[in-house]
Amino acid sequence: MALLKRLAESDRPALKFMLDGEPASGLLGDTVLTAVLTCSEHVRGSDFSAEPRAGFCLMGACQDCWVRLGDGRRVRACSTMLEAGQQISREPGRQV
Amino acid sequence: MIEVDAVIIGGGIVGASAALFLSKAGRRVALLERDFCGSHSSGVNYGGVRRQGRPLSQLPLSQRAHEIWGQLPQLIGIDGEYQRSGHLKLARSLDDLRALHDYAASSQGFGLDLQLLDRDELRRRFPWVGTVAVGASLCPDDGHANPRLVSPAFAQAARRHGAQVHEQCPVSQVTHDGQRFAVRTETAVEFRAPWLLNCAGAWASRFAAQFGEAVPMHAGHPAMLVTEPLPVVMDASTGVEGGGIYARQVARGNCVLGGGQGFALDDARARPGQSAVIEILRQAVELYPFLEGAQAIRTWSGTEGYLPDRQPVIGPSSTQPGLLHAFGFAGAGFQIGPAVGQALTEIICSGASSTPLDAFSITRFHSISVA
Amino acid sequence: MKPIVIIGAGPAGIRAAQTLAAHGIYPVLLDEAARGGGQIYRRQPANFTRSSDKLYGFEAAKANAIHQTLEELRQQLDYRPDTLVWNAEAGQLDTLHEGRAARLDYASVIVATGATDRILPVPGWTLPGVYSLGAAQIALKFQGCAIGERVVFAGSGPLLYLVAYQYAKAGANVVAVLDSSPLSAQARALPGLLAQPATLAKGLYYRAWLTTHGIPVHQGASLTLIEGERRVQSLKWRSKTTERTLDCDAVAFAHGLRSETQLADLLGCEFAWSPLNRAWLPQRDSAGRSSSAGVYLAGDGAGIMGADAAEMAGERAALALLEDLGYRVDPQRCAQLEQSLERIGHFRQGLERAFVFPEDWASRATDDLMICRCEEVSVADIRQVVGEGHWEINRVKAHCRVGMGRCQGRMCGAAAAEIIARESGRAVRDIGRLRAQAPVKPVPFGLEVEP
């Protein structure tokens, strides 16, 4: 399942990446958020009820799209471009 | 014109706890706060509730406060996120570790029950501490709480016990007519009482000076930082021997860190200095490696009153009968505050504090000229 | 010599840079994004192929001009994209670029930080598939995506119709447009909107186009609930006469915009309540001077005026800065810009009447509604704290954590203020304002520091 729907610009080179340890694919020019949400339905779990979140503002303001990369860095998925071979982990959040 | 038994200037934890204990003892109290109760140092401090590390002269009062903290929900109606997580004071060198040993020895008998941990013990019991630490001193029953909740709650509890609590009510003038204090506020109300408690924090020297007891106070502004919610790792609040970045983690997962100084924006507000914030971001990972990859989301500071010996003034005025002082806690007033409030109540109700306060007498500044 | 710095490379920042460069200044232009244009003229990634007309519609010429201007200026300024300004003090900015923190001293600064959507939450708004109107537009403009297969647009404001139109034109399935403003409000506002006939015409065009293409547009229609298991599956809305359910898998909503004022606050600017924006804004004079010496404000970051006004304000603020430094500037140009800005100001008044702020939102907000999505604070939590006697917004924040999360109140601040005002019986302007605290966006531990 996917959240976002590609309407245009589909003719771009594919970029393979890993999502939570599973192989996935996006397109060159995708943000991490686009790549994740065109093949799944959330980017993180909320901090206090582990509810699925998929970003909200897409402009780096709401801070609801943080994901973890393979090198340990955490980035805002909406503000970060997808790179080939990226290992993206979604944080499950917590039920407090 | 309002007649009460005691007027308290300053709604921080010291003034508010005095208001609470006096009200519980049946006295009529007016607590005057120029902003909102617990909104300054009492509300923006790190949140450490600790005895360890205090000068020995403070330990009797601090131990007394420890007992009050043990009854917090009964006293103020909320738990204020208080937990006895333990206070782990870290040493980054053998000299620092020796200093911790010395303190443990000299503080014996005050009830702190300090445990000294060498490198291996520290690694075994607190694996989240960075390897830069060579040892530590643990005070198992020290802890931390949320000052933004606890300090205002003392004022609310005082109100429930009958104290008048006036917020956004700056004091404009204090006089004494030979019998009573007359305290005028900027809201044009006048309060009269035989007792006046100067609990005005970083701004208390102004009132002290009015009665001929100027003290050399200066303001300090600690830099505080909080992280986003993180997986819970820290099972103790930390301090660092010799100064460093101290940290605690709350149940929701955020870590609160402190270290370095800020600067004043005006008489009442402050901000952390840029360098202090950068230093925390750079240095904290060394002591707390689990912060790698974590984000800082907010910083703040506050205004604290410091006297030159970093000890507070607590006790009766030496010039004006009926005037009691309690201020200048050098950023360490949160834990000890409720015991100070209780001691002030004892002075009013039974003539003297059962805990000696001589070390904190305002008279120790009499020979010092104030610029 | 300390440089002159511009924060933000949207229309305001770019015109400011152009004006400074034209007078021989070599400014530093800082921007958080990778490519200039801000939000309204956000550029697609370099390997995308859609034309400007496709991306920006009627605004294509303006967008092209802005982008081209920045391109042409590259040699004449120190342009630093991907750079976040996370803290500011008098005379100094703290920046973060690729994990490295640096300090930048400035002689004068133009703050052109733009805006985000203003959000009045609805139950279910944290579900995957729910986005702001601005987000929906960015998904399309910047990534060529729709936020879902069956999209509902809701809220109010000119952006509502624009984005719905853009989606439908791009081939998305727009299920409905729910405008919370009644038609009567828009009819009454019409005379005021004539101050900007071209803008008005475009707005009416978008609206008419939607209807002509069979997309239901409902006025006086408010979202009441968004439902779904782990993503949007349906929503409920109501008007005065009806309550309906709509099947959908994505919702975009907002009620206008809110200014990003954090850096102006940290720079010590005085703030004043703006009834038009229903928000606290840094004060600026007609030329863009703030209350702080050496700090100038331009564009939506100091009050919502739109992209055209942002370009003018950027130029005008740069001219004010130059004037204050002793340069000779063209007084007629200054006057011209101020007159145009004033006309746009009148238009904005009209827009506010047309797209009425839903004053009853707070009274209709149910206890279970989540206001602060970072800290998961509900209306009930806020009401309880106000019930205990706290009404000043920072006080309420301290007690229930609303606004204490990563976004520092960007998403929840306006809504929280409405709830607090209503519960405490005070006007929204009388409950204080959330203070900016550094870092204005999260910054990482272990960052490197430029020496």
Query: Could you tell me if A94 lies within 8 Å of chain B, comparing CB atoms?
Result: yes
Question: Which two three-digit tokens encode residue A57?
Answer: 């503002």
Residues C299-318 as b/e (b if ≥16 CB within 10 A, e otherwise) read bbbbbbbbbbbbbbbbbbbb
Tokens 């309204």 belong to residue: C40
- Does residue C316 register a pLDDT over 70? yes
Using an 8 Å CB-CB cutoff, list chain C residues near B265.
Answer: 268
Q: List the 390-409 stretch of C: residues with Cβ below 8 A of A.
A: 405-407
Domain count, chain C: 3
Residue A4 lies in a domain: no
Where residue C43 sits, what CATH number does that domain have? Answer: 3.50.50.60
3-class DSSP state for residue C257?
A: strand
Which chain C residue shows the shortest CA-CA distance from A74?
C444
Q: Is C169 on the interface with B (CB under 8 A)?
A: no
**Sheet strands (E) in B292-340:** 295-300, 304-306, 313-316, 323-327
* Residue B272 touches partner C, C-beta closer than 8 Å: yes
Which residues in chain A are closer than 8 Å to C129, comparing Cβ atoms? 3, 41, 54
Q: List all residues of chain C from 124 to 153 with a beta carbon under 8 Å from chain A.
A: 126-132, 134-135, 138-140, 142-149
Is a pLDDT exceeding 80 seen at residue C260?
A: yes
C308: amino acid identity, one letter: D
Q: How far apart are CA C140 and CA C159, in angstroms?
A: 14
How far CA B222 is from CA of B259, B299, C184, C451, in Å, comes to: 7, 10, 55, 24
Contact at CB, C230 and A42, closer than 8 angstroms: yes
Residue-wise pLDDT tens for chain B (371 aa)? 999 999 999 999 999 999 999 999 999 999 999 999 999 999 999 999 999 999 999 999 999 999 999 999 999 999 999 999 999 999 999 999 999 999 999 999 999 999 999 999 999 999 999 999 999 999 999 999 999 999 999 999 999 999 999 999 999 999 999 999 999 999 999 999 999 999 999 999 999 999 999 999 999 999 999 999 999 999 999 999 999 999 999 999 999 999 988 888 888 889 998 889 999 999 999 999 999 989 999 999 999 999 999 999 999 999 999 999 999 999 999 999 999 999 999 999 999 999 999 999 999 998 655 55
- Please report whether residue A94 resides in a domain: no
Per-residue confidence (pLDDT) for residue B51, from 0 to 100: 98
Which chains have 3 or more CB–CB distances shorter than 8 Å to chain A? B, C
Is the same domain home to C231 and C292?
no
**Is A85 within a domain?**
yes
Mean pLDDT, rounded, of chain A:
97
CA distance B129 to B87: 13
And the tokens for A60? 């780096």
Residues recorded for chain B: 371
| Alpha carbon distance A24, A34 (integer Å) | 12
Which whole number is the average pLDDT over A20-49?
98
Q: What is the mean pLDDT of residues C62-72?
A: 98
pLDDT score, position B369? 55
The answer to whether the CB of B317 falls within 8 A of the CB of B325 is: yes
Pairing status of strand B115-118 against strand B135-139: antiparallel
Residue C338 has pLDDT above 60, yes or no: yes
Task: For chain A, positions 74-93, list CB contacts with chain B under 8 A.
Answer: 74
pLDDT tens-digit map of B203-243: 999 999 999 999 999 999 999 999 999 999 999 999 999 99
Q: In this structure, is residue C305 part of a structural domain?
A: yes
Nearest CA in chain B to C93: B274
Residue C401 phi, psi dihedral angles, 5° rounding = 80, 5
| Residue C157 in domain | yes
Domain residues for the domain of C370 are 361-430
Q: Candidates 3.30.9.10, 3.30.1510.10, 3.40.50.300, 1.10.3720.10; correct CATH number of B87-140+222-301?
A: 3.30.9.10
Residue after which a domain boundary falls, among C255, C289, C314: C255
Q: Count contacts between A and B (CB, < 8 Å).
A: 20
Q: How many other C-beta atoms can be found within 10 angstroms of the C-beta atom of residue C34?
A: 13
Å from C382 to nearest chain B CA? 14
CB–CB contact A59 C144 (8 Å): no
Q: Which of A3, A7, A73 sits opposite C144 (nearest CB)?
A: A7
C347 falls within a domain: no
Q: pLDDT at position C100, please? A: 95
DSSP letter assigned to residue A31: B
**Cross-chain residue pair A48–B293, CB shorter than 8 Å:** no
Question: Per-residue confidence at C207, pLDDT binned at 50, 70, 90?
Answer: very high
Does C149 sit within 8 Å of A7, measured CB to CB? Answer: no
pLDDT at residue A67 tops 60: yes
For the whole model, what pTM was predicted?
A: 0.96
- CB nearest A72 (choices: B252, B253, B293): B293
The domain total for chain A is: 1
Q: Is C445 on the interface with A (CB under 8 A)?
A: no
| C349-366: average pLDDT | 94
Are C103 and C144 contained in the same domain? no
Q: Do the beta carbons of residue B42 and residue B31 sit within 8 Å?
A: no
Measured between CA atoms, the residue of chain C closest to residue B223 is C438
C208 and C309 inside one domain:
no
Nearest partner of B226 among B133, B153, B294, judged by Cα = B294
Question: Out of C395, C398, C439, whose CB is closest to B296?
Answer: C439
Please answer yes or no on whether C101 and B291 come within 8 Å at the CB atom.
no
ipTM score over 0.90, yes or no: yes
Residue C20 sits in the same domain as residue C64: yes
Decide which of C200, C221, C255 is a domain's last residue.
Answer: C255
Task: Please state, in angstroms and rounded to a whole number, the distance separating the CA atoms of residues C400 and B254.
Answer: 15
Same domain? For C207 and C173 the reply is yes
Q: In angstroms, what is the C-alpha Rg of chain B?
A: 20
Last residue of a domain, one of C255, C274, C293: C255
User: Which amino acid belongs to residue B291?
Assistant: L
| C101 in reach of chain B (CB within 8 A) | yes
**Domain B2-47+148-215+309-365 CATH assignment equals 3.10.20.580:** no
Chain C residues 196-235 within an 8 A CB cutoff of chain A = 230-231
DSSP B363: G
Å between C140 CA and nearest CA of chain B: 30
* Nearest neighbour of B253 by CB, restricted to A66, A68, A94: A94
Across chain B, what does the average pLDDT equal?
96
The alpha carbon dihedral of B65, B70, B74, B77 has a sign of positive
Shared domain for C153 and C238, answered yes or no, is yes
Q: Which residue has the tokens 């949160």?
A: B334
> Where along chain B do its domains lie?
2-47+148-215+309-365, 87-140+222-301
Q: Report how far residue B204's alpha carbon sits from residue B371's, in angstroms, rounded to the nearest whole number.
A: 16
What is the reported pLDDT for C413?
98
At residue C190, the pLDDT reads: 87
| Tokens (6 digits) for B305 | 């009153």
**Chain A touched by C39 (CB under 8 Å):** yes
Q: What is the pLDDT of residue B36?
A: 96
CB contact under 8 A, A4 and C145: yes
- A1 within some domain: no
In the structure encoding, which two tokens stand for residue C186, read together?
A: 């828009």
Q: Rg (Cα) of chain A, in Å, rounded?
A: 13
Query: Per the domain annotation, does A96 fall within a domain?
Result: no
Q: Give C293: exposed, middle or buried? Use CB within 10 Å, 0-12, 13-18, 19+.
A: exposed
**C439 inside 8 A of chain B by CB:** yes
Name every chain C residue with its beta carbon within 8 A of the beta carbon of A8: 50, 54, 144, 170
**Domain assignment present for A39:** yes
Residue A85, Cβ density class (10 Å: 0-12 exposed, 13-18 middle, ≥19 buried): exposed
CB contact under 8 A, B281 and C437: no
Q: Which residues of A touch B255 (CB under 8 A)?
A: none
CATH number, domain containing residue A30: 3.10.20.440
CATH number where C387 lies: 1.10.10.1100
Q: How far apart are CA C14 and CA C6, in angstroms?
A: 9
Q: Does C32 touch chain A (CB under 8 A)?
A: yes
Q: Quick one: closest CA in A to B228, which residue? A: A47
What residues have CB less than 8 Å from B343, skipping those under 6 apart?
Answer: B61, B64, B314, B353, B354, B355, B357
* B81 near C CB under 8 A: no
Confidence of residue C27 (pLDDT cuts 50, 70, 90): very high
The range of the structural domain enclosing residue A26 comes to 14-89
Domains B2-47+148-215+309-365 and B87-140+222-301 share a fold: no
Nearest Cα to Cα of residue C10 among C347, C336, C298, C407: C298
Pair C138, C248 in one domain? yes
Q: Nearest CA of chain A to the CA of B294: how many Å?
A: 8
C70 vs C354: CA distance, rounded Å: 35
